[in-house]
């Protein structure tokens, strides 16, 4: 809801004011140059966005910064330039290329979605059909529909949420305000250039209407912004306090064979880091779990611990290391030859463990 102490008459006026009228001319001049984006000048010349690029970037950008995604996007599109080539890729290759981006269920769904789209001969254009594809939720479906196909779909990510909350001075705490914000986003999305409009609001939130210290003085929408008028823009959106994250404990086992091979296992397809390559480990629980080494060895405790934070908990992973002879027979995982092992293929958590243990295990 709009703030109760908004000036009389302001509520209906602000509801009628269109952001598109001020943001689209600004976007035409200041649109960010992003590798997956077809800019407004290219679109004006009839160059259409590639739905594959729009989809891939939107999946990568979930919970990840633009700066991080740029390099991954360029590597992916160089190696798999279209949806057909990605659909034909080996699971292990895609998971390795995704390593470091986090939220690994996205990578599993990426392959499922690519194969589903390739099988049907291309991306559907409506939000409803897009939502039926693996890994595509309401936000991503709206983004693809609007940006790739010029459908009048209301796109709301974190940047858009912040812009709209400030523009309308909505002070209901999140997440309770999300439904009202989405209704405003839908109502204000224009029928003309909806994709450019969605990207304009995103760009405004990323560059001017930033989380802290918004640059209201240069904002193209400042004349009609209720948050600015009331002097509360920087305080919006209001967020409910987050619950404290619990801490889980576990053990990870790093083993190097005499010939330089490393003992690795592919994690189960479901769950955290599902389908990713990693070190054998115990369960992660509130209390330190019992020791569960993957083979018989002279295990050492190097007094090293990896600390990593997931969405819902913190993890403290104590390391155990061992050097083993050629005859070592693991009961879990398999040895990967030295020439085939690339630390960069590991997810961030496992790469942290390698970085700590490798200086010890690589000593001769």
| Residues assigned a catalytic role | 58
**Closest among 146, 153, 179, 143 to 61, alpha carbons compared:** 143
Which residues does 122 contact at the CB level (< 8 Å), separation at least 6? 51, 83
Name all contacts of 322-326 with Cβ < 8 Å and 24+ positions apart.
322/253, 322/254, 322/255, 322/256, 322/297, 322/298, 323/255, 323/256, 323/257, 323/258, 323/297, 323/298, 323/361, 324/255, 324/256, 324/257, 324/258, 324/295, 324/297, 325/257, 325/258, 326/257, 326/258, 326/259
Q: Provide the β-strand partners of residue 306.
A: 317
Q: Are 155 and 138 in contact (CB under 8 A)?
A: no
Q: What is the DSSP letter of 57?
A: H
Measured at the CA of 274, the angle between CA 73 and CA 342, to 5 degrees, comes to 60
Instruction: Name beta bridge partners: 110.
Output: none
Q: How far is CA 305 from CA 160, 179, 316, in A?
A: 39, 42, 6
Q: How many CA atoms, within 13 angstroms, populate the side-chain half-sphere of residue 360?
A: 18
Of 40, 41, 73, whose CA–CA distance to 54 is shortest? 73
* Residue 295: closest CA among 276, 320, 315: 320
């Amino acid at each position: 809801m709009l703030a109760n102490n908004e000036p009389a008459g302001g509520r209906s006026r602000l509801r009628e004011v269109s952001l598109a009228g001020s943001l689209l001319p600004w976007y035409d001049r200041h649109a960010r140059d992003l590798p997956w984006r077809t800019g407004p000048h290219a679109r004006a010349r009839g160059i259409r966005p590639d739905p594959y690029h729009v989809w891939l970037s939107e999946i990568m950008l979930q919970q990840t910064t633009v700066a991080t995604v740029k390099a991954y996007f360029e590597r992916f599109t160089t190696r798999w330039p279209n949806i057909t080539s990605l659909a034909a890729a080996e699971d292990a290759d895609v998971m390795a290329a995704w390593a470091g981006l986090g939220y690994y269920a996205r990578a599993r769904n990426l392959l499922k979605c690519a194969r589903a789209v390739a099988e049907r001969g291309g991306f559907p254009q409506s939000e409803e059909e897009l939502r039926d594809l693996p890994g595509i939720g309401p936000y991503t479906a709206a983004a693809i529909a609007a940006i790739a196909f010029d459908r009048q779909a209301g796109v709301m990510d974190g940047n858009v949420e912040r812009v709209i909350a400030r523009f309308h001075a909505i002070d209901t705490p999140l997440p309770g305000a999300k439904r009202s914000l989405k209704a405003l986003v839908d109502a204000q999305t224009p029928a003309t250039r909806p994709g450019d409009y969605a990207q304009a609001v995103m760009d405004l939130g990323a560059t001017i209407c930033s989380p802290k210290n918004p640059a209201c003085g240069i904002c193209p929408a400042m004349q009609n912004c209720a948050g600015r008028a009331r002097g509360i823009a920087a305080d919006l959106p209001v967020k409910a306090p987050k619950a404290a994250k619990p801490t889980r404990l576990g053990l990870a086992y790093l083993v190097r064979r005499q010939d330089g091979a490393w003992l690795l296992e592919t994690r189960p397809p479901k769950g955290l880091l599902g389908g990713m390559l990693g070190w054998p480990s115990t369960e992660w629980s509130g209390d330190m779990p019992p020791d569960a080494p993957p083979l018989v060895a002279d295990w050492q405790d190097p007094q090293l611990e990896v600390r990593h934070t997931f969405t819902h908990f913190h993890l403290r992973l104590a390391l155990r290391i061992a050097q083993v002879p050629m005859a070592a027979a693991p009961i879990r995982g398999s040895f990967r030859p030295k020439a085939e092992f690339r630390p960069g293929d590991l997810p961030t958590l496992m790469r942290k463990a390698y970085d700590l243990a490798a200086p010890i295990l690589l000593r001769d």
